[in-house]
Each structure stands twice: as C-alpha cells, then as structure tokens.
Amino acid sequence: LYAYNWAARGPHRVACIYGDAPVCDFRSWPGGKGTGKGSPPDWAKLIRDYGFRDEAEALAYRGNPIARLDVLARAGIPLLHVVGDTDDVVPVSENTAVIERRYRELRGDITVIHKPGVGHHPHGLDDPAPVVEFILRSADKRPTP
C-alpha cells in the first residue's frame, strides 16, 4: 500500500515498484472483504490510522493502489510483483491480478512472477537475480533530475 501511495504522490521520484505478495486493495487485506482471511485487529488499526469515521467510509475509499494506477502508467513506471499462487492472506485475484489487468489496460509495463503452490510466505525468490536486474534496469532508464 505505502509504496504505491508514495509513488502516486511523487512519480518523478520513482524508478520502479517491486511488490512481494503486495497488498493492493486494503479491502482484501486487512479488511477480509473478499476471499482472503483478513485481519480484524489490523483492519481496525487501518481505519483509525487513515482517519476514517467508520468501516463504510473505509470501504468507499478510492485511494487504494488498484484505483491509482493512471499516474504511474503515464510516468512510465515499470512494476514487478512476485506472488504465491495459493496466497490466502493477500489473494492474487484481489490484488496483483487486478493491478496487472488495469496496468496493461493503461499500457503500463508490469511483470508478474508466479510461485506455483506457494502461499503468502515465504517471500522473495530462491534466486533474487530477476528482482535485482529489474531494479537496476529500471534505475538506469530514469532521467537524472
């Protein structure tokens, strides 16, 4: 959430976004309003931290990463997500799959690396080279301010 929100506020400061089992819609996690487990204590904390009056206001919020991709696509920010296909904490179908579909519709550059049979943990890849190469390649392409 925070990486996408920060990038949307200052895309000129961002070379790329790497998300590892990323939360892209807080209704999914910690809200648990879809197929995922959710986390009631974290959901209550999010409502409080964001300053929402109640759950209804949180559910109506339009500032989740899944809804703010246009500014990132216009800025040409490439995305890389690594996801476990059986993640039941942050379900791919409610998070990365939505980002992937919408970003492609906006003609954004996104790569998703799927880990078959893997849940939310362990994070990362056994060989981190694809992530490192993505970050270095992206950083080399950004104009110097």
Give the rounded percent of residues in the chain with a pLDDT score beyond 90: 93
Instruction: Give me the pLDDT at residue 143, please.
Output: 62
Mean pLDDT of 47-70: 96
Instruction: Give me the pLDDT at residue 141, please.
Output: 81
Q: How far apart are CA 52 and CA 98, in angstroms?
A: 24
Write out pLDDT tens, residues 68-110.
Answer: 999 999 999 999 999 999 999 999 999 999 999 999 999 999 9
Write out pLDDT tens, residues 99-120.
Answer: 999 999 999 999 999 999 999 9
Q: How far apart are CA 32 and CA 96, in angstroms?
A: 16
Q: Calculate the alpha carbon distances from 34 to 6, 25, 94 in Å.
A: 25, 10, 7
Single pTM value for the model? 0.93
Q: Which is more confidently placed, 141 or 36?
A: 36
